[in-house]
A = this chain, B = another copy of it.
Amino acid sequence: METTAIDDSEAIVGDLYSDACPCREILNLVASKWATLIIGKLEDGPLRFGQLRRAISGITQKMLTQTLRRLEQDGLVHREVLVHMRPPQVEYSLTELGQSVTEPLAAIRDWSEQHLPDVQAARRNFDALQPN
């Protein structure tokens, strides 16, 4: 039987998770500069729009709205409009899915806190050696 029909070259080193890697989507989601901060703030419990804005210094209304929409769309955040309130208030909270993503996020955070000094040292060393 002809098992050699496929590209015979040594080249491809197993493409188990090349383009189709689902983690890329999640990384894009989570690395969008504000998403992790928002998720982090909501870990402690529901917050209203203004509370979030004040809790995350430097964020603009636009980015807060935009990121919340995306998180809501992806099922990580629940948006609850308190209609009867005057003035109207909107409360955001993590869904179960959102809760579950805090675990891998914590893995990244832990690694960062543990190894960021090494990364920064590597950067300084690199800069020192490369007369760029």
Most central of A109, A110, A112 by chain B CB within 10 Å = A112
Q: Does more than half of chain A's interface fall in helix, strand or loop, or is it mixed?
A: helix
Number of A residues contacting the other chain (C-beta, 8 Å)? 62
Are B103 and A21 touching (Cβ within 8 A)?
A: no
A115/B101 in contact, CB under 8 A: yes
B37 and A20 within 8 A (CB): yes
State the CA gap A122–B18 with chains docked (Å).
21
A42 to chain B: closest CB distance in Å?
A: 10
Task: For A33, list chain B residues within 8 Å (CB).
Answer: 24
Shortest CB–CB separation between residue A25 and chain B, in angstroms?
A: 7
Instruction: Report the Cα distance A26→B27, complex, angstroms.
Output: 11
In the assembled complex, A56 has its CB within 8 A of some CB on chain B = yes
Q: Is B54 within 8 A of A119, CB to CB?
A: no
A1-25 CB mask vs B (1 if < 8 Å, else 0) is 0000000000111111111111111
Knowing A22-B116, A97-B122, say if A31 contacts B36 (CB, 8 Å).
no
Whole-angstrom distance between the alpha carbons of A45 and B131 in the complex? 30
